[in-house]
Structure formats: structure tokens, C-alpha cells
Amino acid sequence: MNVLIVDDEPHARKRIRRLLADYPDVVVVAESNSGPSALEAARTHRVDVILLDVQMAGMDGFEVVRALANGDPPIVVFVTAHDTHALRAFEVAAIDYVVKPVRKERLVAALDRARALLASRESAAVGERLQKMLAELGANARSGVPPALPHHHGAARLEVRDGESIVFLPVAEIDWLEADGPIVRVHAGRAVYGVRDTLSRMEESLDQATFVRIHRSFIVNLERVRELQPWFGGDAILVLREGQKLKVSRTYRTQLRDRLNAV
């Protein structure tokens, strides 16, 4: 769950970030101290949930919500020192309204509601894709046209930073990718490059036949895999050709085995 923190008070942003640090499924992709910078962050990153202050100079939280209304807006949780805007917050479809000083249990409750809504959205999206696929299969069956299997080949090169320079790295040279806060570390041989993006968005740009997600923090090039070792609790350890060891969470283990068998 990618979170954007928006508050004009540095200590308030720091406190929220500290409270979120205990939850491994929550990634703070950016912080903003104003409405305009929040809009820029929302355009730059894939944001699932925005923790949004109400009163900010120049552009308040409600103006931010209106500006984000088009397309696929993030889930909004207002976090404010004022309890007088709650009714208005729910009128703009915020899922929660947390009053400062923020208590951990209150923030956790808001995040639980956000998780549930995200899961509901994903379930609905999967259902829509399934219905579309079934409709296409039915149309193809009637016309005698064999169904086309979708495959995303991905980009041939990846734009990464090496100090002050921009390097166009051939994707075939990538060994694995690692999420590190707002940065994705791209490992290619002995070189490590930084990309200011989310791992999920980069996953969408890579060849799905070659790269596979093995953990919420890792994507690996299947051609670099040497062995898969069992681990505790249903997890596993993936060993790459050069000896690097990456944890495979049980959520992705079956998918990884299927993909390895298909290579």
C-alpha cells in the first residue's frame, strides 16, 4: 500500500512516518508540505492512500481532493487538528477523518479501512477483466478465431541514474530490482543504479516472461536464478548465479515455481 503524507508541519509528517514504520505492507512513497506539491507527488508516484491535512497555506486539503478527482484518485484519509470539517470530509468521499494528535490505534483503524477498500477495488477489477476475457473467448469461439494470449514484452532499455549521469541500461543486463523507500535499486552485475519510482510500476514495464515478483520488495530476472531453497513458514530463499540470496515470500512462491518450470 503506497502512502503519500501531506502536512505543512514537519513534526506532524515525522510522527506519521514513525507510526507507519511498523507496518511492512505500507510504503511511504513521498511527503508533501503543500497542496501543489501533493498534486505533483501524486502524478509522479503511484499513490494508493493519501494522508491529507486540511488547513494548508495556498491550497487546502479539499482543493487537493477536487484536483485529484479525475481518473483513478487515491483513497483519502484526512489527518487534521480540527474536528469541524468531518462532515465535509465525508461529503468528498474520504474514508476516514483522524484528529491530531494522531494515536497509533486510530491511524491503524484508518489503514485497515483503506486496505479493505483497496482489496474490494482489486476484486472488482479482476472480475471485470475476467468478464471481458470470457466475452472475447465466446466471440472467438463463435467466429472460429483462436484466442490470443496476452503477453507484455516490456521495454528493451531502462533509464537509470549513475551519479549525475543518465544511463540507458539494457534490461537483459538486470539481475534483480529492490524497493528502497521512494527509490528502486536496480542491480546489474556489480553496478547498482537508482530509479525514483515504485516497484509495482516498474514491474508493469518489464517483460513478464523474464521478470517475476518474489517479494513485496524484490523482482528477479528468471535467467539469473540458480536454485530455490525452502525456508521457514512457507517462505523460500532464491539463490542467483553470482551467489546473491533473496527472500521469497510464500505469497509469491507458487507463482515463482510455475514460472521457473515454464522457463
Average pLDDT, the chain: 83
Compute the 3-state secondary structure of the chain and give helix, strand, coil in percent, each to the nearest 5.
40, 30, 30
**pLDDT band per the 50, 70, 90 thresholds, residue 179:** very high
* Mean pLDDT confidence for 177-197: 89
Per-residue model confidence (pLDDT) at position 149: 43
**pLDDT band per the 50, 70, 90 thresholds, residue 221:** very high
Whether pLDDT at 180 is above 80: yes
Per-residue model confidence (pLDDT) at position 138: 61
Cβ-proximal residues to 198 (8 Å cutoff; 6+ apart), any chain: 2, 27, 29, 45, 46, 179, 184
- Tens of pLDDT, residue by residue over 101-110, are 899 999 988 8
Whether pLDDT at 213 is above 60: yes
CB < 8 Å & 24+ apart, contacts of 16-21: 16/51, 16/79, 16/102, 16/107, 19/102, 19/104, 19/107, 20/107
DSSP-based three-state secondary structure for 96? strand
Cell triple for residue 20? 507507519
* Mean pLDDT confidence for 143-159: 58
Whether pLDDT at 150 is above 60: no
Per-residue model confidence (pLDDT) at position 142: 59
DSSP class of 223: G
**pLDDT band per the 50, 70, 90 thresholds, residue 148:** very low
- Tens of pLDDT, residue by residue over 57-108, are 889 999 999 999 877 789 999 999 887 888 888 788 888 899 998 999 999 8
Among 94-98, 126-130, 225-229, name the one with the lowest average pLDDT.
Answer: 126-130
Cell triple for residue 60? 487546502
Mind listing the domains of the chain with CATH numbers? 2-116 (3.40.50.2300), 157-262 (2.40.50.1020)
Per-residue model confidence (pLDDT) at position 132: 65
Whether pLDDT at 167 is above 80: no
- Tens of pLDDT, residue by residue over 25-58, are 889 999 999 999 999 999 888 899 999 999 998 8
* Mean pLDDT confidence for 2-23: 92
